[in-house]
Amino acid sequence: MASYALGMLTVAYGFNFIDRQILVIIQGPIKLEMGLSDTQLGLLSGFAFALVYITAGIPIAYWADRGNRRNIIALAITVWSGMTALSGLAQNYTQLLLARIGVGIGEAGGSPPAHAMLSDYYPPERRATALAIYSAGLHAGIFVGFVLGGLISEYFGWRAAFMVVGLPGVLFAIIFYFTVREPERGRWETADVANYQPSLGETLRLLARFRSFWYIALGAGFTAFAGYGNGNFTPLFLERSHGISGLQLGFLLAIGGGGGGLIGTLIGGRLSDWLGARDQRWYLWVPAIAGCLALPIGLPYLLLEDTRLVVPLLVVVTILINTYLGPCLATCHGLVPPAMRALTSAILFFILNLVGLGMGPLTAGLLSDYFTPIYGDDGLRYAMLIVSGISAIGILMFFLAARNLPRDMAIRDSIGNGMQN
C-alpha cells in the first residue's frame, strides 16, 4: 500500500508540474501574440503564481494536519487541472494571469498534505528516499510538459497545449480519490507524540526554536531562486543565444531539464539517507556540496557559444542543483511531531517559493529587460549570470543549518521526552 500511495502521489506531483511549467515552454508564442515583456512573463510564470500559492498553502496545510489529506489532494488536483485547461481560453494577459492564479490556489493543496502522508507511510531512515522519489515527480512533470508543450504548440497552438495537459488531471483526481488510502497519522511515533494536536501558534513557536529549520528554508529558497529564475528563462535563452526552437527545444529541455532534475532529486535523497545513517548533518551537507560544484559549472554554461558544450553543462548543473529537496523535507519532518508536518512543509514552501519561484523569474525578467537595450539578445545571458551568483547564498545557509542541526535535535528529543512523562 505504501508503494502504491507513493506512486500515485508522485504521479499527482507530475501533473502538478506539467500544469505549472507548461507555460515556460510555450511562453514564446504567448509573448508574441500578446506583446508581453520579459518582466510580464516573469510575473506570469513566477511572482503572481507564487504569491497565491504560498498564501493559500498555510491554511490548507493547517487543515491537512487535522483533516483527511487524501481528500484534500484529490480536490486540489481537480482545481489546478481545471484551471490549466481554462488557461487555453484566455484572450488577453489579465485573463491568463487570473487563470494562472487559479492554478496556484489548486497546487497549494498538493505537496504539504502529500509530504505528511509519506512521513506516515515511511519510517525516518527511509523518509528522504521516499520524499525524493515523490519530488522526482516534479521533474517527470517538467519532462512531459516540455515534450507535450513543444509538440502540441508546434502543430495546434499554445491554447491547445493548455487544454491537453489540463483535462487528464481531472480524471486522475477521481482515480486518486477512490484508490489511495489515508495512512494512520503518527504511526512511527509514540502514542503521546502521535496524538498531539498543536495550534498554529504552538507550531510556529516550536519552529522558531529550531535555527536549522530557518536556515534550511533560506537555503532551499536561494537554491530555487536560481532553479526557477534561470530555469523559466532557459527556453528563451536557448532560442536567443543558440538558435534552438520548436520541437528541438522541447525535447532538449525535457531531457536536460526534466531528466537531469529527476536524476539529481533521486541521488540527493538516496545519498542523504545512506550518509545520514552515519551523521544526520549529511542531509544538509549533500545539497551544500552539490551547490558548490554547480556554481562554477554554471558560468561556462551561460557564457560559452558552442551549443555542443552548453547542453551537457546544462544537464550537469541541473542534476547538482536538484539534490536538495528530499533531504531538506526529511530533516524538517524529523524535527516536528506528526500533526505539524503538513504545516511545516507549507511554511518551508512559503519561504522556498517566495524567494525562489516568486523572486527568481521576476528578477531574471527585470534584469533581462534592463540589459537587452544595451547587449541585445545577450542581455538575458547576463541576467541569468547574476541570478546564478545570488544563489550562492543558499550554499552558506545549508552549511549553517548543518552546524545548528545537532542542537535542534537535542531540543526535539527533550520535547518528545516531556510528552511521554
Instruction: Lowest mean pLDDT of 201-210, 238-247, 249-258, 325-334, name the range.
Output: 249-258
Confidence of residue 420 (pLDDT cuts 50, 70, 90): low
Res 174: pLDDT = 95
- Is 192 a domain residue? no
- Is 235 a domain residue? yes
Residue 71 exposure: Cα atoms within 13 Å on the Cβ side = 6
Average pLDDT over every residue of 84-94: 89
Give the total number of structural domains in the chain: 1
Query: What is the spatial distance between Cα 339 and Cα 212, in angstroms, rounded to a whole number?
Result: 20
The pLDDT of residue 193 is above 60? no
- Is 195 a domain residue? no
- Is 205 a domain residue? yes
- Is 194 a domain residue? no
Residue-number span of the structural domain to which 401 is assigned: 2-182+200-416
Residue 322 DSSP code: T
What is the pTM assigned to this prediction? 0.77
Query: What is the spatial distance between Cα 200 and Cα 40, in angstroms, rounded to a whole number?
Result: 35
Q: Quick check: 166 and 43 in contact, CB under 8 A?
A: no
- Is 284 a domain residue? yes
Q: Quick check: 167 and 85 in contact, CB under 8 A?
A: yes
Give me the helices (H) in 88-210, please: 93-107, 111-121, 124-156, 158-179, 191-194, 200-209
**Which residue, chain included where needed, has cell 545513517?**
277
**Which pLDDT tens digit goes with each residue over 347-396?**
898 899 889 877 888 899 899 999 989 988 888 999 999 999 998 999 99
- CATH no. for residue 76? 1.20.1250.20
**Which pLDDT tens digit goes with each residue over 252-268?**
777 777 788 889 988 99
- Is 59 a domain residue? yes
- Is 191 a domain residue? no
